[in-house]
């Protein structure tokens, strides 16, 4: 059966029959005879993006890397179509070294979508292509630092025959990014010093303090929103440890932590689907009372905030912009943006607490 | 008598050096604190006067630096004594706390607790527990050998150390590469950045009790150093004594790993340096090793926390300093002849 399918796939993959063609984000040509129906996604967040592009994303997904997704998020996506969701081959792959070609081939996909983190799995990619399975290197999650932040999402929309929908989502995100970046560009021309920010990923899961590294999206959102990261020059890679003394002596004006259910058991910042606002605010209070953070201006002036680690980048950008420059962005309402995003594009909006401040009044949904 | 006096002099000098280093370390760091402000902050509880320094300076001195310096002192002192005892028990200058598998065993528990998200208390308990359990395993393996001698203990320790190292690698392999793996790796390399008074208490209890036991048994270690046959001739139960000392060492090492992760070289290098000052008599060697270990560890930690804004893991520094120093000491002790 698998042999017949493989031969069929090789025939389908022939350039002559290509009805859909894109150039992926690695500059490779990807050709499909018809819109993809059996897709593998390497990025856990890609299910959310697919839920923006169509009503029932599970129907098109044959296998998925659900690494680090909590049960609340999984149950939420399952609720759209439990039967289709349960048929998905749920894999847990934490890096390109564990991406197994044989395992993927066994799922019989007609398209394998790998994000930039997995593009280094060159041997696996060549094996898949030898087996006649098209591979597209696409970051579906919007990378707001790029000239076209939704390039990956829009190309994915083409591959599933939802090009118009992809353009609409892309347009929405670009407009909201432009609203922030244009004002920050003007601000930087007239203001030399920017507010200092400590951005702590997986906040409170360890002692004070972790900081995001240079070139990491979470940290770059702070720079895009007109902030100055205190750990940026020191930390390399995803994140690194800053000493409590360095944090105290740097005395950041603003503290922003990222959180999620994955660090709940270790006393970390609690945010995400199904999280209660009071519990989230209590966790922010606990995280900011650690030695190092507690001695900063940010805590004294109640400028301490938390965002969901897996939140939509555009919402996170608006949030940090309003926190860093409240006067400049007094007209920006991230809650309204999220509500519009959910209303216009989301198959089934997530509910929970996705950001928290010391004075959050009502649950941001 | 002259030797005893010189040991006291050495201890006095080291004690004064440690006190001077304590004062210096309290001013040293990324947050600048002047000596005048420091003395005012330190005297405030005694003199009942308002200190010159602001609240942040007080926090830095009392909450950030003081527990860290005291934890570093205890950990360094404990590891040095543990190393000196092991070198005496096994009559081998190349033996350190890592050789009996306890430190590697303790790291398994610590790494596992980070992986499973057991929190700070869970980490302390599991690291200490698995360190002690590893000694129990060494004991069990040694009992199965036809001749339960010192070589058997060393071999059992080395074999189990390798096994525990593989378990740590397995834990790292399955750990979440973005969130948990960096925490495990950083913890494994050792740091006093998490030092608090609570951790100081948890470290002080086992370390001081076990160190006191080793100091009490110091003269017996001298007998043990002569060899098993000579010790038995002097009516010393070598097997019982050896395991009592190994248990004390395991308590010290497990407590240290639980509080501050794995720190190498201290238990290997410091006893050598101390032996050059005191000679092979463990009654002098152990207290001098303790003080030298404390001074060395505080110095290393000062570099770790002050050199950059980021914390430099201790094992990196102890290896960079320890390896060349050890080679020099080894050359000197070889030329003198090692007796221990």
Residue pair A55/A40 in contact (Cβ under 8 Å)? The answer is: no
* Average pLDDT rounded to a whole number, residues A284-300: 92
Give the 3-state DSSP-derived string for B211-276, with helices as H, strands as E and coil as C.
HHHHHHCHHHHHHHHCCHHHHHHCCCCHHHHHHHHHHHHHHHHHHHHHHHCCCCCHHHHHHHHHHH
* Average pLDDT rounded to a whole number, residues A117-121: 88
Residue pair A24/A32 in contact (Cβ under 8 Å)? The answer is: no
Report percent pLDDT > 90 for chain A: 60
Q: Tell me the pLDDT of chain A averaged across its residues.
A: 88
Report percent pLDDT > 70 for chain A: 92
Phi, psi of B170 (to 5 degrees): -65, -45
Cα gap A154→A171, rounded to integer Å: 10
Name the DSSP class of A45. Answer: T
**Long-range pairs of A23-27 with CB within 8 A, sequence gap ≥ 24:** A24/A136, A24/A137, A24/A138, A24/A155, A25/A116, A25/A137, A25/A138, A25/A139, A25/A151, A25/A152, A25/A155, A26/A119, A26/A137
pLDDT exceeds cutoff 80 at A71: no
Q: Across A123-127, A134-138, B90-94, B191-195, which has the greatest mean pLDDT?
A: A134-138
The band of B335, judged by pLDDT with boundaries at 50, 70 and 90, is low
What ranges make up the beta strands (E) of A141-293? 196-200, 210-212, 228-229, 239-241, 254-259, 272-273
* Contact between chains at A238 and B193 (C-beta distance less than 8 A): no
* Average pLDDT rounded to a whole number, residues B94-118: 90
Residue pair A153/A170 in contact (Cβ under 8 Å)? The answer is: yes
Concatenated DSSP letters of B29-45: SSS---HHHHHHHHHHH
- Which residue in chain A is spatially nearest to B184 when comparing CA positions? A206
What ranges make up the beta strands (E) of A209-357? 210-212, 228-229, 239-241, 254-259, 272-273, 304-308, 352-353, 355-356
Residues 69-88 of B with CB under 8 A from A: none
* Contact between chains at A241 and B178 (C-beta distance less than 8 A): no
* Contact between chains at A244 and B64 (C-beta distance less than 8 A): yes
State in words which class domain A194-356 has. alpha beta
3 state DSSP class of A305:
strand
Residue pair B270/B135 in contact (Cβ under 8 Å)? The answer is: no
Nearest-neighbour CA in chain A from B77: distance (Å)? 24
The band of B1, judged by pLDDT with boundaries at 50, 70 and 90, is very low
Nearest-neighbour CA in chain B from A297: distance (Å)? 11
Token readout for A21 is 């063609």
Q: Does B308 touch chain A (CB under 8 A)?
A: yes
- List of chain B residues whose C-beta atoms are within 8 Å of the C-beta of residue A295: 56, 59-60
Nearest-neighbour CA in chain B from A335: distance (Å)? 28
Q: Does A292 touch chain B (CB under 8 A)?
A: yes
- Which residue in chain B is spatially nearest to A211 when comparing CA positions? B310
Q: Which run of H or of E encompasses A112? A: strand A111-114
CA distances from B112 to A95, A227, B136 (A): 20, 37, 19
Q: Which residue has the higher pLDDT, B48 or A1?
A: B48
* Average pLDDT rounded to a whole number, residues B198-214: 95
Neighbours of B275 (CB within 10 A): 27
Which CATH fold topology does B70-97+176-336 show?
ABC transporter involved in vitamin B12 uptake, BtuC (1.10.3470)
Best mutation site among B309, B312, B314, B316 for testing chain A: the one with the most A CBs within 10 Å?
Answer: B309
pLDDT exceeds cutoff 90 at B53: no
Neighbours of B322 (CB within 10 A): 22
The reported pLDDT for the residue numbered B2 is 45
- List of chain B residues whose C-beta atoms are within 8 Å of the C-beta of residue A94: 176-178
The reported pLDDT for the residue numbered B174 is 84
Nearest-neighbour CA in chain B from A265: distance (Å)? 6
Cα gap B141→B136, rounded to integer Å: 9
Q: Which residue has the tokens 């980490």?
A: B123
**Whose CA is closest to B259, among B200, B205, B310, B315?**
B200
Instruction: Tell me the pLDDT tens digit for each residue of B280-296.
Output: 899 899 999 999 999 99
pLDDT exceeds cutoff 70 at A44: yes
Phi, psi of A197 (to 5 degrees): -130, 135
Q: Which run of H or of E encompasses A39? A: strand A39-41
Q: Which of these ranges, A191-195, B51-55, B63-67, B176-180, has the smallest mean pLDDT? A: B51-55
Q: Which run of H or of E encompasses B302? A: helix B282-306
Nearest-neighbour CA in chain A from B258: distance (Å)? 15
Residue pair A355/A311 in contact (Cβ under 8 Å)? The answer is: yes
The band of A16, judged by pLDDT with boundaries at 50, 70 and 90, is very low
What residues have CB less than 8 Å from B328, skipping those under 6 apart?
A: none
Instruction: Tell me the pLDDT tens digit for each residue of A125-137.
Output: 998 998 999 999 9
The band of B113, judged by pLDDT with boundaries at 50, 70 and 90, is very high
Number of inter-chain CB pairs under 8 A, A vs B:
82
* Beta-sheet strand order (sheet of A355-356): A228-229, A196-200, A254-259, A304-308, A355-356
Cα gap B33→B53, rounded to integer Å: 8
The reported pLDDT for the residue numbered A363 is 44
Which residue in the set B31, B119, B311 is minimally distant from A265, CB to CB? B119
- List of chain A residues whose C-beta atoms are within 8 Å of the C-beta of residue B63: 291
Q: Which residues pair with B156 in a beta bridge?
A: none
Q: Which of these ranges, A273-277, B166-170, B219-223, has the smallest mean pLDDT? A: B219-223
Which residue in the set B31, B177, B179 is minimally distant from A245, CB to CB? B31
Residue pair B214/B241 in contact (Cβ under 8 Å)? The answer is: no
The reported pLDDT for the residue numbered A6 is 54
Q: Does A207 touch chain B (CB under 8 A)?
A: yes
End-to-end CA distance of chain A: 47
Q: What is the Rg, in whole angstroms, of the alpha carbon atoms belonging to chain B?
A: 20
Nearest-neighbour CA in chain A from B310: distance (Å)? 4
What ranges make up the beta strands (E) of A152-303? 196-200, 210-212, 228-229, 239-241, 254-259, 272-273
Which residue in the set B118, B179, B194 is minimally distant from A262, CB to CB? B179
Best mutation site among A244, A247, A298 for testing chain B: the one with the most B CBs within 10 Å?
Answer: A244
Q: Which residue has the higher pLDDT, A191 or A39?
A: A39
Which residue in the set A68, A245, A262 is minimally distant from B305, CB to CB? A245
* Contact between chains at A68 and B178 (C-beta distance less than 8 A): yes
- Which residue in chain A is spatially nearest to B54 when comparing CA positions? A295
Cα gap A74→A82, rounded to integer Å: 11
* Average pLDDT rounded to a whole number, residues B73-91: 94
Q: Tell me the pLDDT of chain B averaged across its residues.
A: 87
The reported pLDDT for the residue numbered B178 is 67
pLDDT exceeds cutoff 60 at A15: no
Q: Which residue has the higher pLDDT, B70 or B180?
A: B70
Is the C-alpha dihedral spanning A76, A77, A79, A85 positive or negative?
A: negative
Best mutation site among A97, A115, A246 for testing chain B: the one with the most B CBs within 10 Å?
Answer: A246
3 state DSSP class of A364:
coil
Given its phi and psi angles, is residue B203 left (phi above 0), alpha (psi -120 to 50 degrees) or beta?
alpha
What residues have CB less than 8 Å from B69, skipping those under 6 apart?
A: B22, B25, B26, B298, B301
The reported pLDDT for the residue numbered B337 is 58
- Which residue in chain A is spatially nearest to B63 when comparing CA positions? A291
Nearest-neighbour CA in chain B from A235: distance (Å)? 7
* Average pLDDT rounded to a whole number, residues B162-179: 88
pLDDT exceeds cutoff 90 at A314: yes
Concatenated DSSP letters of B57-104: HHHIIIIIIHHHHHHHHHHHHHHHHHHHHHHHHTT-TT--GGGGTHHH
Q: Which run of H or of E encompasses A334? A: helix A334-345
Q: Which residue has the higher pLDDT, B328 or A330?
A: A330
Instruction: Tell me the pLDDT tens digit for each residue of B220-275.
Output: 898 887 776 677 676 677 887 888 899 999 999 999 999 999 999 899 899 989 98
Q: Does B118 touch chain A (CB under 8 A)?
A: yes
pLDDT exceeds cutoff 70 at A7: no
pLDDT exceeds cutoff 60 at B52: no
Q: Does A98 touch chain B (CB under 8 A)?
A: no
Cα gap B241→A70, rounded to integer Å: 52
Q: Does B173 touch chain A (CB under 8 A)?
A: no
**Whose CA is closest to A210, among B233, B99, B182, B259?**
B182
* Contact between chains at A248 and B30 (C-beta distance less than 8 A): yes
Torsion of CA A12, A15, A18, A20, to 10 degrees: 120
Instruction: Tell me the pLDDT tens digit for each residue of A247-272.
Output: 999 999 999 999 998 888 778 999 99
* Average pLDDT rounded to a whole number, residues B28-53: 80
Q: Which residue has the higher pLDDT, A87 or A219?
A: A219
The reported pLDDT for the residue numbered A5 is 54
* Average pLDDT rounded to a whole number, residues B99-113: 93
Cα gap A100→B333, rounded to integer Å: 55
- List of chain B residues whose C-beta atoms are within 8 Å of the C-beta of residue A95: 177
pLDDT exceeds cutoff 60 at B203: yes
What residues have CB less than 8 Å from B209, skipping those under 6 apart?
A: B251
pLDDT exceeds cutoff 50 at A280: yes
Q: Which residues pair with A229 in a beta bridge?
A: A197
- List of chain A residues whose C-beta atoms are within 8 Å of the C-beta of residue B309: 231, 234, 242-243, 246, 250
Residue pair B82/B255 in contact (Cβ under 8 Å)? The answer is: no
Q: Does A26 touch chain B (CB under 8 A)?
A: no
Which residue in the set B60, B120, B176 is minimally distant from A245, CB to CB? B60
* Average pLDDT rounded to a whole number, residues A234-246: 82
Residue pair A39/A89 in contact (Cβ under 8 Å)? The answer is: no
Best mutation site among A118, A266, A269, A287 for testing chain B: the one with the most B CBs within 10 Å?
Answer: A266
Nearest-neighbour CA in chain B from A141: distance (Å)? 18
**Whose CA is closest to B8, among B220, B209, B214, B278?**
B278
End-to-end CA distance of chain B: 20
Q: Hey, where are the domains in chain A?
A: 18-171, 194-356
* Average pLDDT rounded to a whole number, residues B172-184: 81
- List of chain A residues whose C-beta atoms are within 8 Å of the C-beta of residue B118: 265-266
* Contact between chains at A248 and B63 (C-beta distance less than 8 A): no
Cα gap B13→B317, rounded to integer Å: 25
Which CATH fold topology does A18-171 show?
Rossmann fold (3.40.50)
Q: Which residue has the tokens 């306890």?
A: B102
What residues have CB less than 8 Å from A136, skipping those under 6 apart?
A: A22, A24, A28, A30, A111, A112, A113, A114, A155, A156, A159
* Contact between chains at A231 and B59 (C-beta distance less than 8 A): no
Nearest-neighbour CA in chain B from A137: distance (Å)? 21
């Amino acid at each position: 059966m698998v042999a017949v399918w493989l031969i069929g796939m090789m025939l389908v993959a022939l350039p002559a029959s290509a009805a859909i063609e894109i150039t992926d984000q690695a500059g490779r040509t990807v050709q499909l005879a018809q819109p993809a129906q059996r897709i593998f996604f390497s990025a856990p967040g890609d299910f959310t993006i697919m839920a923006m592009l169509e009503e029932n994303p599970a129907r098109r997904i044959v296998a998925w890397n659900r690494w680090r997704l909590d049960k609340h998020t999984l149950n939420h996506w399952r609720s759209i179509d439990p039967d289709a969701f349960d048929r998905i081959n749920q894999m847990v792959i934490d890096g390109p070294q564990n991406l197994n070609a044989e395992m993927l081939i066994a799922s019989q996909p007609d398209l394998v979508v790998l994000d930039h983190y997995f593009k280094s799995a060159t041997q696996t990619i060549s094996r898949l292509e030898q087996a006649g399975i098209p591979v597209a290197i696409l970051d579906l999650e919007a990378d707001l630092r790029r000239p076209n932040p939704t390039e990956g999402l829009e190309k994915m929309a083409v591959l599933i025959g939802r090009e118009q929908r992809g353009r609409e989502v892309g347009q929405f995100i670009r407009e909201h990014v432009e609203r922030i970046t244009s004002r920050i560009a003007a601000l930087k021309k007239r203001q030399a010093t920017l507010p200092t920010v400590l951005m702590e990923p997986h906040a409170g899961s360890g002692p004070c303090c972790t900081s995001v590294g240079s070139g990491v999206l979470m940290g770059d959102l702070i720079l895009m929103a007109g902030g100055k990261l205190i750990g940026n020059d020191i930390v390399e890679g995803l994140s690194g440890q800053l000493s409590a003394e360095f944090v105290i002596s740097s005395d950041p004006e603003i503290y922003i932590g990222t959180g999620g259910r994955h660090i709940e058991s270790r006393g970390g910042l609690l945010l995400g689907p199904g999280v209660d606002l009071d519990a989230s605010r209590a966790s922010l209070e606990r995280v900011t009372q650690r030695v190092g953070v507690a001695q900063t201006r940010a805590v004294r002036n109640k400028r301490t905030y938390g965002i969901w680690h897996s939140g939509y980048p555009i919402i996170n950008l608006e949030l940090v912009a309003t926190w860093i420059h409240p006067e400049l962005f007094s007209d920006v309402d991230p809650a309204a943006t999220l509500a519009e995003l959910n209303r216009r594009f989301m198959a089934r909006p997530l509910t929970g607490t996705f950001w928290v401040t010391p004075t959050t009044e009502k649950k941001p949904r | 008598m002259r030797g005893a006096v010189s040991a006291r002099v050495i201890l006095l000098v080291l004690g004064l050096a440690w006190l001077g280093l304590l004062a210096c370390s309290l001013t040293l760091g990324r947050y600048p604190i002047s000596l005048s402000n420091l003395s005012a902050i330190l005297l405030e509880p005694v003199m009942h006067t308002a200190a010159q320094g602001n609240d942040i300076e007080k926090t830095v001195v009392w909450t950030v630096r003081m527990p860290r310096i005291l934890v570093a002192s205890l950990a360094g002192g404990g590891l040095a004594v543990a190393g000196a005892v092991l070198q005496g028990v096994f009559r081998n200058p190349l033996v350190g706390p890592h050789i009996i598998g306890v430190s590697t065993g303790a790291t398994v528990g610590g790494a596992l607790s980070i992986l499973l998200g057991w929190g700070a208390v869970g980490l302390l308990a599991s690291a200490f527990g698995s360190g002690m359990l590893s000694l129990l395993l060494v004991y069990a393996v040694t009992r199965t050998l036809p001749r339960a001698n010192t070589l058997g203990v060393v071999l059992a320790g080395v074999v189990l150390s390798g096994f525990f190292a593989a378990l740590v690698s397995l834990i790292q392999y399955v750990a979440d590469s973005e969130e948990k793996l960096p925490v495990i790796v950083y913890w494994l390399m050792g740091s006093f950045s998490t030092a608090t008074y609570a951790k100081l208490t948890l470290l002080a209890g086992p370390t001081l009790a076990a160190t006191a036991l080793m100091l009490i048994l110091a003269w017996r270690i001298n007998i043990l150093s002569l060899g098993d046959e000579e010790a038995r001739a002097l009516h010393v139960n070598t097997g019982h004594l050896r395991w009592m000392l190994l248990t004390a060492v395991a308590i010290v090492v497990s407590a240290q790993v639980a509080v501050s992760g794995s720190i190498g070289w201290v238990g290997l290098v410091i006893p050598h340096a101390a032996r050059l000052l005191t000679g092979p008599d463990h009654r002098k060697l152990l207290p001098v090793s303790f003080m030298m270990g404390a001074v060395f560890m505080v110095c290393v930690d000062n570099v770790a926390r002050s050199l950059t804004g980021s914390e430099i893991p201790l094992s990196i520094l102890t290896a960079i300093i320890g390896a060349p120093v050890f080679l020099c000491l080894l050359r000197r002790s070889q030329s003198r002849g090692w007796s221990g």
